[in-house]
Chain A
């Protein structure tokens, strides 16, 4: 599994830059939430529409569960972001990121007939930026750049 890393330099660094950029985005989303004492996923959850809106609304309606969700979201974003950037436990980070993005996508799917409190900055039908970021992480997960560029190299490359 860890064998095929014979990418060209361009291929390798393009994938690394993509990985770092996504990591940066996760990390900054996490840090801003951590540093804002008023941040809560409450409004976002309450704004959920589509297939799972009932689930997200009931999470929002439960103060204790909401706190757990907030905590997991903030630290999930930070750890995934940092992991992707420095290439530490990268595959775990990528998979966790995919799960998190799947939650975001499912809570606010870009389906026909729904509009959200926050006006969207672009135009989306079924495919939105959450989904694209999710699919990109999928690619990142399948191309183990961390075997060359990343702390994982020292953890997993011991032969």
Chain B
């Protein structure tokens, strides 16, 4: 064609010169060939590895809950920091909070708190009762309860909830179907047991109880009553933990021998040295009731009221507060249950100066280590925590054939000396320095070859947090699961059996620290000795 043109126009370009115009076109052929080869190689590697590992592909689809049917009427016991978060997860926030999120979103389109809250599923629940010992908190809870429309300041109001002076009055009411307990730990057992006896379903914050004795009584009361009980380990809803369980079940790690979990925080808030509300005084706080379960009574102390986590009278410090989250995550994945023995050590090493406090220096350690032994399963679970350093260490599950690094994303590496992967390592199919399996939440496909870029972004939370413009609050999912279980008469994921294991294990860790000795679990008699 070009030749015809050429001759017709009498152009001086000869045929050879003209073909120069097409000289680079074959590069496209080379490109196509190279791309095909590379993809084929990746595909073969992926396919062979996938076959070898036998992991399911695809991300986890949450089946939307069916919220129709009976409206569940909730009573909220405790509206402090956690109670506020739980109520938000159930769909209720004060007009003031919502207005703040709204304003923040107007100023910065990246601020998604308001949008995320609006998108959160309506659980078809109503908050009919509030119980909080501090007037200001109770009033805020009332304002949140009366705001089912999730509106800001000046919005329409819903039906007002009733405020109860004591939880016993709330439990006696027939306007309450279920209670969310976000009171301090020294109240958990009493309220749960009474709620169970009153036939009210319970969502209770962790740690399960303050003492070991309470764990048995709580379990028995829940079991006898048949209520739906969920313990507040929202990690049960974390996608990567669900994938981690599959990886362990499919034996990607080989025989597991060591598990390392940790907590790192580095702020007064993280160490439970919270602000003291200026409105708190002996009139606005029912201090006598707060102290009721305590053996030793203390004079009014706003410091103890707001920072109760720092004293043994009300909680168990890192053990019940944060070891329990880590323990429950591992228990969800490995199902190892109660350890045969526990030792703990640590101390108040950072927040030990008077300057951090008003009157009293904390009792519970800010540096804590616990070792739980599982000789019958041939592994050790180690927990270490610092409230004065916030390095993100993640969880590490180590087996003879591989290691799993677990956070919001998950990576499995083959062990260089692995027996199972020996041939694949020798043949070059597996490179021990690269993950053999990667799971990044929100990613459509799961395979071993996630690009380095994706992994970097995921590790910084850049993909997870904003994927599809929607963040999923695990606490919301955990409450939704509980509500769903109540409606359908099912068992939620962190039910009373799981909770019993958590309560005993954390109780052993606390006892080991406080008595400075190794404590043992007598399985047959269900006793800690």
Contacts and interface: CB of A to CB of B under 8 A. Distances in A.
Interface of A: 16, 20, 23-24, 27-28, 31, 35-38, 42-44, 46-47, 57-58, 60-63, 82, 85-87, 117-119, 148-151, 153-154, 158-159
A42 B467 contact: yes
B21 A28 contact: no
A60 to B, nearest CB: 7
Contact of A37 (B112, B445, B459): B445
Nearest to A16: B24
A28 B35 contact: yes
13 contacts: A27-B31, A35-B39, A43-B456, A43-B457, A60-B110, A86-B24, A86-B27, A87-B24, A117-B456, A117-B459, A118-B457, A148-B20, A159-B11
Interface in B455-483: 456-460, 462-463, 466-469
B296 interface: no
Contacts of A150: 21, 24
Contacts of A61: 109-110, 112, 466, 469
A85 B31 contact: yes
Contacts of B453: 43-44, 118
Contact of A85 (B9, B24, B110, B460): B24
Interface string B31-47: 10001000100000000
Contacts of B467: 42
Contacts, number: 93
Given A58-B109, A86-B24, 13 more contacts: A16-B24, A36-B451, A42-B457, A44-B453, A44-B457, A46-B457, A47-B460, A47-B462, A60-B466, A86-B25, A118-B457, A148-B21, A158-B9
A23 B112 CA distance: 39
A8 B458 CA distance: 50
Question: Which bracket fits the contact residues of B?
Answer: 35 or more
B462 A43 contact: yes
Contact of A58 (B110, B445, B451): B110
Which of B39, B445, B462 has the most CB atoms of chain A within a 10 A radius of its CB? Answer: B462
Given A27-B31, A63-B469, A86-B25, A154 B2 contact: yes
B454 interface: yes
A36 B38 CA distance: 13
Nearest to A81: B31
B443 interface: yes
A82 B112 contact: no
Kindly list the 6 A-B residue pairs having the minimum CB-CB distance in the complex, ordered from nearest: A43-B457, A153-B21, A63-B469, A46-B462, A61-B110, A43-B462
B444 interface: yes
Contact of A118 (B2, B11, B112, B456): B456
B23 interface: yes
Contacts of A42: 457, 462-463, 466-467
Nearest to A119: B456
Contacts of A27: 31
Given A42-B462, A46-B466, A149 B109 contact: no
Contact of B21 (A36, A43, A63, A151): A151
A70 to B, nearest CB: 13
B529 interface: no
Contacts of B462: 42-43, 46-47, 117
Interface string B382-425: 00000000000000000000000000000000000000000000
Contacts of A87: 21, 24
A149 B456 contact: no
A20 B23 CA distance: 11
Given A20-B27, A117-B462, A150-B21, A38 B456 contact: no
A101 B25 CA distance: 24
Contacts of B443: 38
Contacts of A62: 109, 469
A148 B110 CA distance: 50
A149 B24 contact: yes
Contacts of B22: 151
A31 B457 contact: no
Nearest to B442: A38
B109 A63 contact: no
B28 to A, nearest CB: 6
Which of B18, B24, B443, B466 has the most CB atoms of chain A within a 10 A radius of its CB? Answer: B24
A57 to B, nearest CB: 5
A28 B30 CA distance: 12
A35 B36 CA distance: 11
A43 B24 contact: no
Contacts of B18: 153
Contacts of A46: 457, 462, 466
A95 B345 CA distance: 65
Nearest to B459: A117
Nearest to B30: A24
Contacts of A149: 20-21, 23-24
B21 A47 contact: no
Contacts of B11: 159
Nearest to A84: B24
Contacts of B23: 16, 149
Nearest to B464: A43
A159 B12 CA distance: 12
Interface string B91-110: 00000000000000000011
Contacts of B31: 24, 27-28, 85
Contacts of B469: 61-63
Given A57-B110, A61-B109, A117 B20 contact: no
Contacts of A44: 453, 457
A89 to B, nearest CB: 14
Interface in B421-463: 443-445, 451-454, 456-460, 462-463
